[in-house]
Structure 1
Amino acid sequence: MTRAPHSPNEKLPDNREELELLLEALPPVIRQRLQDLPDLDDLIEVVLDFGRPAEIRLKTRFERFHDYIVSEDDLRYVSDRISEFGKDNRAGIERTLHRISAIRNRQGRIIGLTCRVGRAIYGTIDIIEDIVESGRSILLLGRPGIGKTTKLREMARLLADRMNKRVVIVDTSNEIAGDGDIPHPAIGSARRMQVVDPSLQHQIMIEAVENHMPEVVVIDEIGTEAEAYAARTIAERGVQLIGTAHGQTLENLMLNPTLCDLIGGIQAVTLSDEEARRRGTQKTVLERKAPPTFDVVIEILDYDRLAVHHDVQQTVDAILRGAAPRPEIRIRGADGQVEVVAAEATKRVEPVVEAPVEPKRRPVASSVVRVFPYGIARTRLERVVRERRLPIAVSSDPESADVILAIRSAMQRKPERFRERLGRSVPVVVVRSNTLSQIAEAMQEILAGQFEQEVEHTNGAMEEVLEAIRVVKSRGKPYDLSPQPSPVRRTQHRAIEQHNLRSESVGKEPRRFVRILPP
C-alpha cells in the first residue's frame, strides 16, 4: 500500500494519544468505562443527552449506560475542556481531528453533545492515486461516515508533500485539519483557511484563489448554490478542485437543483420534429447547460469499493439521452491490492426506428418482463426497477419487448404512427408524466398482469369505439360502450379524445364502462 511521505520535521500523529485527549474531556465515570473497553480503538462517538443514559457507538455495536443519566454538570464539564462552539454548533480539541457537536434548546442552552472520534488514517487513496495525480478536478460522493473527509485529508497531503503543489484547504468546520490555529499534521504541508461563519464558505473559497495563488483547492461539503458557483469560478481559473458534496450518486446530483451546476447544470431544450422522431423522445428534452465544474466524480460505495466516472461530461450527456451509467468499479482486496473489477462503459440507447408490424403475439410467459420505454427517461425507469428490485428488464428493442411503457403526450401527438411503429399486438401502458411515482405505479400495474387482457380486447373494443363515435356525431346523443378492463378503457378515452369528443367512465368494477358524450 503506497503512502505519501510526511513533513520531515513532524512525526505522524498517534491516534491512540489523540483519543486519550478526547477521553480526558469526558466526565470521569464515562472516561473510566471507556478505558476499560477491550475494543476502545473501535470507538466512533460518545453521545451525551441531558436527562438520558449516556451512549457509546463502536464499529460493530453500541451500548447505553442505563445506570448513568447525563446531567447538566456533565455537559458543562465537557464544554469547559474543549474549544468554543462556532455558529455551526461545532467545536474540537486543539490539534486533533475530534469533533464535538452541540444540541441546544430554544433558549440556546446546550442539552446534548455528540463527541465524534477523529482519526488520521493513511493509505486510503492508493485506490485512486492515479486520478489524484492526473491534475483533474475530483468530486467525492457518498453517505455520511463513509470516509469522504478522510480521503480529502490524504489527497491534500499527497499533493502538497509528494507533488510539491501549493494546496489550500477551505476548512469550514475544522474537520479536515482539526481544531486550533495550527493545522493537524495529517494534511502535511498544505495550508488551511478557516471559515468564521459557514454561510461565508463561498467567499473564503474565492479569497483563497485571489489571495494565495493555489494550484489546488480542497473543499469539504459543498452544499449551497453560492458554493457551487464559487467552485465553478475556481475551476474556470485553471485551479485543480477537490471536494465533496451531499449525495450518493451522480444521478442524485443531477436531480438536485441546488448542486446540479457542479456537473454542468441541466436545462430544457425544444427539439425539431425530425430530431425528436430520431431520438424517439418528446420534443422537449433535458440537456447539459455548461461544461462540468468537476472532471471526475467518484462514488464511495464502501470503504474499499469505489465507482469512478472518468468523464463527467460524457456520462451526464449519456444519462440525459437515456443511457444507463456504467462507471468503473475499483476495489481494494484483503491483500491490499487495488483491482478494477468493471471497466467504465456507458451504453447508448438507440433511437426508436420504424419497423413493420409483426403478427399478433401474446406476452412471453417469463419471470422477468421486458419493458420498452417510449418517451420515458430510461434512467428513471431503471432507477425504479433498481430501487424496488422489480423483476423487470428494460429493453432497447420494441420488437422484443413484452410491454411498451409510453408517455401520454407521445401517444396523443401521433397515435396511429405510434401503433404502426410499435406493433398493435404489444400491450401499451401509458403514464401521464415522466415522474418516478407515475413510472412506479405503471410498473406495479405491469407486474400485476392487468395489461394481459388488453391484447384480447383491444381490437374489438376499438372497433366498437369507432362505430360509437360515428353514431354520437350523427345523432348528437351519448353512447355507452361495453364494460372493459381499466387499460382498455384508457385506450378508448384516448381514441375518443383524438376525435374531439368528450368521454367519462361510469359504473363500478367489473362492469365499469366508457360513455361517449356529444360535442
Structure 2
Amino acid sequence: MLIADDLDKLLESLPPFVRRPLETHPQKDDLIEVVMDLGRRPEARFPGHPEYLSNEMITCNDLNYCIKRLGNFSGDNRAGIERTLHRISCVRNRDGSIVGLTCRVGRAIFGTIRDLLETGKSLLLLGKPGVGKTTAIREVARVLADEMQKRVVIIDTSNEIAGDGDIPHPSIGRARRMQVSKPERQHQVMIEAVENHMPQVIIIDEIGTELEAAAACTIAERGVQLVGTAHGNYLDSLINNPTLADLIGGIEYITLGDEEAKRRGTQKSILERRSASAFQIAIEIHERYCWIIHEDVEKSIDNTLQGGDFPIQKRTFDPIGKTVIEYTHLSPLSDFGANANWKYYQSSFKPSRDIPSTTLKEKESYLNEKELYNKSSLNLERKKQLKNISIYSYGINLQYIETIVSLFNFPIVTTRKIDEANFILSVRNQIKHNAQIRHVAKLKNIGIQTIRSISMPQLVRALYCMLDWKTYEIDLKKMALLITKENNFNELEVFEEVRLAIEKLVIPKKITVELLPRNVSLRKIQHELIHHYQLKARSIGEEPDRKLRIYPN
C-alpha cells in the first residue's frame, strides 16, 4: 500500500494560487508531481492525465517563493524538504538561473517481495522514470534492516531514498544512509561503504555509469547482497546498453568450431554472456502495481542470446493487500523485448490463484497448488468445433508433421503453397536468416511458429501453440507412442525415466531427484518434459557424466 509522506509539507512550499486547488482536489492522494515553468501555467500530474491548476502564469517571484522553503540544490540539481521523501528538481537556463521546478511527491510503500529477499540473492529493479523504483527499494531497505535484522547501508546520492537533511526518514527503518557529496563520486562511496562499514546489504539507486556498474560488480564479488535500480523497460535492454551490460555479466562475440556450431545448430559467431551476473534476480516495473520478475537472470540472458524461451513471473499488487502471481515462458524471437507493447506483453500470462499478502509459508502453499492438467468438457468441446488450420513447412519434413497430426487428431492440414497457409512452421535458425519468407509472411498476415531443433516433442508443442491449446494438456501416452514410432528407443527410455521420477517422487513426495547421466540431445528432451510438468531442473556435473537434477515446487 502506498502512502504519501507529509504531503502538506510539500504543498506549504508552493505559491498560494498553486496550493489552494490541490488542497481541495478529489485526487489529492494520487498526486504524482507539480510542474512550474517560468511563463507557463502551473500543472499537476495525476495517474493517466495532467491538469492545469490556475490560469495565472508562473513568475520569478513564484519560483523564489518555493526555493526559499527548500534545502540547497546539489550538483544534480535536486533538493528536498527535510525529514520528508519529496524531491524537487530544477531546470536552469544558460546563466545558471532557475527557470522551472518539478516537485515530485515522495511515498512510502508497505508490503513487498519478502520471499525474494529471503533468498539472499542480489536484486535489480528496472523501469522508466516515475514507475516507483525508488519507492520500492525504500521498503526493501526497511524489510531487510528491521524484519530480517541485516546490516543495510544505503548509498543515497540525491537524498531521494531517505529524504533531505542529516536525519534519515523513518521509512528506511534501521538501515544506515551514506550521503554523496557529488553525483560523480557515487561509485567511490559504494566501495567506501563496503570497506569501512561492514554491510551485509548495499542499496544503490540509479546505477547509470560504467564506473558505478564496475563498482557494483566488485561489491558482488565480495559477497555483499546488492539491491539496485537502473533505467530500462526490459531486461533485454541491458544487453543493448554497453554502459550497463556488465551488471548482467557483459556480452561478447565468440567463434565456435565447426562441430560445436553444428551440435548447437547455430552460426559460428554467436553472442554469449562473458561472466557471472552481479544480480541474480531482476524485476521489471512497467506499472506502479505490476512487476515482471526474472528469478534467474543468467538463465534469462543466456536463453535470450541463444534464442530460447525462459520463465518469468508477473506480480500484481492490490492496494488492499492482495498479490496476484502469474507465470509464462517468453521467446526472444516473438514480439517481446525492448520494443514490445506492454499490453501484448501482459496478454501472454496464464493466471494463477490470488495470493493474499500474508506469511511466506501461506504464499508457498498457494504456489505449490498449480494444476498440471485442465481437460474440462468445455475445453474439449471447443477443440471439436475448431476449424482446420493450414501449415506451410519450411525446412521440416512434412512426413513428421503429418505423423503427429494423424496420431493426435489435430484439426490441421499441410500445404505446399505459402499463400494458402495460416502458419509457417520452421526451425528458428533457418527462418531467422531468410528475410524474404519473413517479408512474405508479414505482407500476407501469416503467423510464424518456430522450434529450436527438429524433434517430435518440440513439433508437438509447436502445433499445440498454433492451435492455441494449453501445452500442459499434451497426451503423454501418445507422446511416448510417437517416440516409439520414431524407433528412437533411447528417447523413449529417457522419456519414461523422467515421467516416473516426477510422478512417483518429485510431485507426491516433494523430494529432489537426480537423473542418470545423458548426452546433450537427450538432456534437451528431459528439459522439455520437465517443463511440461511446470517444474525446474538444472544440469550438474561435467561431461560425460553431466546429468539433470529435478526440484519440487
Q: TM-score, normalised by structure 2?
A: 0.63
Which among 3, 23, 35 is matched to residue 35 of structure 1?
23
**Structure 1 position 36, deviation (Å):** 2.6
C-alpha displacement of 1:62: 2.0
Shift of 1:372: 4.4
What CA distance in whole angstroms lies between the structure 2 residues aligned with 1:373 and 1:31?
59
**Which structure has the greater CA radius of gyration?**
1
**Aligned to 1:328, which of 297, 313, 317?**
313
Name the residue aligned to 1:220. 205
1:374 alignment counterpart: 429
Aligned to 1:221, what secondary structure does the other structure show?
coil
CA distance in 2, matches of 1:397, 1:261: 28
- AA matched with 1:294: F
- CA shift, 1:38, in A, is 2.6
Question: Quick one: structure 1 residues 368 and 75, their matched pair in 2 at CA, closer, same or farther if it must change by over 3 Å?
Answer: farther
Structure 1 partner of 2:193: 208
> 2:144 corresponds to which letter in structure 1?
L
Q: Does 1:106 align with 2:94?
A: yes
- Map Cα deviations across residues 183-236 of structure 1 (whole Å, 9 max, x no partner): 011000100011111111111100110010000000011111111100011011
- Separation (CA, whole Å) in 2 of partners of 1:360 and 1:332: 47
What is the SS of the residue equivalent to 2:101?
Answer: strand
1:153–1:187 contact (8 Å) kept in structure 2? yes
2:177 equivalent in structure 1? 192
Distance 1:282 1:115, change over 3 A: same
2:71, 2:318 → 1: CA distance? 40
1:335-378 residue CA offsets vs partner (Å, 9 max, x unmatched): 633333216688999xxx99769899222624444454436769
Residue 393 (structure 1) shift: 2.6
Q: What secondary structure sits across from 1:158 in the alignment?
A: helix
What SS does the aligned partner of 1:131 have?
A: helix
- Report the CA distance shift for 1:298/1:371 in structure 2 as closer, same or farther (over 3 A): same
- How many percent of aligned residue pairs carry the same amino acid? 51
Indicate the larger mover: 227-236 or 294-303. Answer: 294-303
Question: Which residue is 2:448 aligned to?
Answer: 393
Equivalent pair of 1:327/1:346 in contact (CA under 8 Å):
no
Q: CA deviation at 1:33?
A: 2.2
The one-letter code sitting in structure 2 at the alignment partner of 1:299 is: E
Post-superposition Cα deviations, 1:371-430, rounded to whole Å, max 9, x if no partner, equal: 54436769x9xxx9xxx9x763331178889xxxxxxxxxxxxxxxxxxxxxxxxxxxxx
Alignment-mate amino acid for residue 103 of structure 2? C
The aligned amino acid for 2:91 is I
The one of 87, 108, 115 equivalent to 1:120 is 108
Query: What is the match of residue 277 of structure 1?
Result: 262
2:265–2:453: 8 Å Cα contact kept in structure 1? no
Tell me the matched-pair count: 376
Aligned position for 2:66: 78
The CA distance in 2 between the partners of 1:243 and 1:282, in whole Å, is: 35
Partner amino acid, structure 1, of 2:37: D
Q: Out of 138, 144, 162, which is 1:159 matched to?
A: 144
DSSP-derived class of the 1:301 partner? strand
Query: Cα 1:86–1:80, aligned 2, differ >3 Å: closer, same or farther?
Result: same
Counterpart amino acid of 1:31?
R
SS in 1 for 2:8: helix
The secondary structure found in structure 2 opposite 1:202 is helix
The alignment's C-alpha RMSD in Å is 3.2
Q: Give the Cα separation in 2 of the matches to 1:360 and 1:165.
A: 63
Would the alpha carbon gap of residues 98 and 377 (structure 1) be closer, same or farther in structure 2, given more than 3 Å must change? farther
Unaligned runs of 5+ in 2: 335-393, 400-413, 463-553
- Structure 1 pair 343/281, CA: closer, same or farther in 2 (3 Å)? closer
1:324–1:347 Cα contact (<8 Å) kept? yes
Matches within 5 A, 1:61-460: 61-65=49-53, 67-123=55-111, 125=112, 128-332=113-317, 336-342=321-327, 361-363=416-418, 365-370=420-425, 372-374=427-429, 392-396=447-451
When normalised by structure 1's length, the TM-score is 0.67
Q: Using the alignment, how far apart are the partners of 2:332 and 2:207 within structure 1? A: 30
Aligned-partner SS, 2:164 = coil
Q: What residue identity is the alignment partner of 1:361?
A: R
**Residue 397 to residue 115, structure 1, CA distance change in 2 (3 Å):** closer
Structure 1, unmatched stretches of 5+, are 4-13, 402-519
